[in-house]
Chains A and B, each alone.
Chain A
Amino acid sequence: MEITQQDVEKVAQLARLAVTPAEKETFAKQLTQILAHVDTLNKYDTTGIEPTATVMGQVNVFRDDLVRPSLPSDKALSNAPEREADGFVVPKILEER
C-alpha cells in the first residue's frame, strides 16, 4: 500500500512528532517500501492461530501492597529539564479566553 505524505502527517501527529517537509517525503517513501515487505506476511495462513504477545505466558503478576522505601523526590527530580520546588514545570495547558 502507498503511504502518502498526508498519511505521514497524520501518524506524526498521533506520535506527537513534528516533521519537516523533507522528512514527510522520505518517510512516505521508506514506510511504503517497508510495509510492502511486511505485506509478504499475507502469504501465511493464520486462520484460527492465536496471536502471541509474550512468550513466557505470565499473566497478572501480583505483589503485596506494602509501603517500601522509594526514590526521594529530590533524586526523582534530579533530571528534570525545569523544576520548581517539588514539581516539574511545563508550559501552560489551558488556553486564555
Chain B
Amino acid sequence: MSLHKLTLFELQKQFKAGEVTAAEIVRAYFLRISQVEPKVKAFVTQAKESAFLQAEALDRKLKEWRKTKPLTGMPLAVKDNICTDGVHTTCSSRMLQNFIPPYDATAVAKLRAQEYILLGKTNLDEFAMGSSTENSAFGPSRNPWNLHCVPGGSSGGSAAAVAAEECVAALGSDTGGSIRQPAAFCGVVGLKPTYGRVSRYGLVAFASSLDQIGPITRDVSDAAFLLQAIAGHDPMDSTSVDRSVPDYMKALQKRDLKTLKIGVPVEFFTEGLDPDVELAVRAAIGELKNLGAEIREISLPSTDAAVAVYYVIATAEASSNLARFDGVKFGFRAKETKDLLELYMKTRQEGFGSEVKRRIMLGTYVLSAGYYDAYYGKAQAVRTLVCQDFSAAFKEVDLIVTPATPTPAFKLGEKSEDPLQMYLSDIFTISVNLAGLPAIALPCGFSKGGLPIGLQLIGRAFEEETILQAAHVYEKSTQWRTKSPVVR
C-alpha cells in the first residue's frame, strides 16, 4: 500500500519497526502533494526543503541508535494561524504575508519535541474568520470530494490536506466550528478539545475565550494519538488548565457502548436541516443504540441564540485582538503615510480583507459607548443560558449527538455574498465553543451527490475520553472510514 494511504497510527508502527525511513515518507508525501495540490490548494506554504533536511537528519540519528518518540518522522501539516519558528505564518492575510515567527506555538513545540516533520502550513479563512476558506487572501482551497465545493472553514486547508492524503494528520483551530465543520465537509475526523485542554500560546488570537487548537485526522484513534501529543497545561497560556492528561489511547479499548447515555437535542432536528444529513444522522443514532447506548431525547432551549451570541462575543474579542496589527512592530505597513494615525488607518485598510474588516467593525460597534450593555452585556448573559442548557443536559446524559453541519459542503461562491447566511451555516457547532466543551466530528455517510456527512459528539468538559471511545466504537462498526476521495 502507498505510504500516503496509511493512518498516523499505522505509519508510526511501520516507522518504529524500521520498515520505512523518514526520507521515504517525506518523498512519498511530496510526490502525492505534487499530484493533487494543484487542484486542492490546501497549502499556503510548503516546507519541502526543511522537511527533507529534517528527515535525513532523523534517519542518520536513528541509524546510530534506534529510539523513537510517538511522532518521530510523522509528516504533519499545521494551520497557518499557528506559529512555527522560522516558517512563514500568514493567517492567510496580506497583513502577515511576510511574517516569520521567532518562536513556536506551544502545540508546535510539543510536536517538535517529539521529532515530527512539518510538511507545510495550511490555508484558512483570513484570521480564521469564515466557514469556507473563501476569505483567504491567497485564494480558496477545494473540497477533495468535489472540487467545485468548499472544504469548509476556517481550517479548510488542514481538512482538505488530510482528506486528499497530502499529510498524515494536521492541526487546526476551532473558534465556532472551524475544526469540526471542515472535517465534516471533507469526510475526516476533527476534534475540538475542551477550552483550556491545549495551550493557545502561539495561536494567533481571534476570539480568546473561544479559540482552541485540535487535531484533524483520518480516523478516531489518530485524533486520540495527536491530542495526546498536544494536550496539557502551559504556564505561557494563563487560560490553559492545570489538570493531568489521561491516556487517550486507553479510552479506545472499549468494544461497545453499554452504560452510556446519549442525548439527542430536539432543537437540532428542525427546518433547515438537509434531508440527506438528517437521514444519515438518524441512521448513526440507530447504530449507536445497536451498539448498546441508551438514546434519550433532550432539549437545549437556547440553541437558537447561539449564532447571535457568538457573532457579538467573537467579533468583540476579535476587534481588540486585531488592534495589534498597526504596521509598527511586525506585519504589513502602508507606504507614504504622513503621520502615525494615517499609518494605522491605511495599514489596516490595505492589510485586512473584507470579512475581517466587517468583524472588526461589528465588534467595535457592540463594544462602543451606548451599545455595550444592549449587545455585549446581553450576549454574555445569553451565553450563560447556553452553558446552563448543557449543564442540565449532562445531568441526564453522558454524551450529546447532533449533525455536525446542517448541510453537506456547499459550492464555492454560493454564500460568499451573504455574510449572515455564511454565519448561520455554523449553527450546530457554535454553542459548543460558547460552553467550552469538547466535541468531535466524524464521517457518518454521504449525500446523494456523493459528499461526506459529519456526525458530532459533544461531551462534558475534560471528558474527551468518552467522546473518543464512543466515536471509535461507532467508526469500527461502520464502513465510512474506508472511503477516500478520488481527486479530479
Contact = CB atoms under 8 A, between A and B. Distances in A.
A joins B in a complex: yes
A42 B387 contact: no
A30 to B, nearest CB: 6
Contacts of A81: 327-328, 330-333
Given A52-B387, A55-B435, A18 B349 contact: yes
Nearest to A62: B238
Nearest to B98: A79
Chain B: interface secondary structure?
A: helix
B209 A55 contact: yes
B48 to A, nearest CB: 23
B378 A42 contact: yes
A11 B385 contact: no
Contact of B329 (A3, A52, A80): A80
Contacts of A31: 358, 361-362, 365
Categorize the interface residue count of chain B. 35 or more
A30 B326 CA distance: 25
Chain A: interface secondary structure?
A: loop
A90 interface: yes
A49 B378 CA distance: 10
Interface residues of A, number: 49
B394 interface: no
Interface in B194-240: 195-196, 209, 235, 238-239
Contacts of A16: 323, 326, 341, 344-345, 348
Interface string A28-72: 001101110110111010100111111110100101000000010
Contacts of B326: 16
A91 B331 CA distance: 16
B291 interface: no
Given A11-B368, A17-B360, A30-B358, A38 B311 contact: yes
Given A31-B362, A93-B339, 6 more contacts: A19-B357, A35-B375, A52-B380, A52-B381, A79-B330, A92-B340
Interface of A: 3, 7-8, 11-12, 14-19, 23, 27, 30-31, 33-35, 37-38, 40-42, 44, 46, 49-56, 58, 61, 63, 71, 75-76, 78-82, 88, 90-93
28 contacts: A11-B365, A15-B360, A16-B323, A17-B357, A23-B354, A31-B365, A33-B419, A34-B362, A34-B420, A40-B304, A40-B308, A46-B385, A49-B381, A49-B385, A51-B383, A51-B384, A52-B381, A52-B434, A54-B239, A55-B387, A71-B103, A80-B329, A81-B330, A88-B328, A88-B329, A90-B343, A91-B337, A91-B343
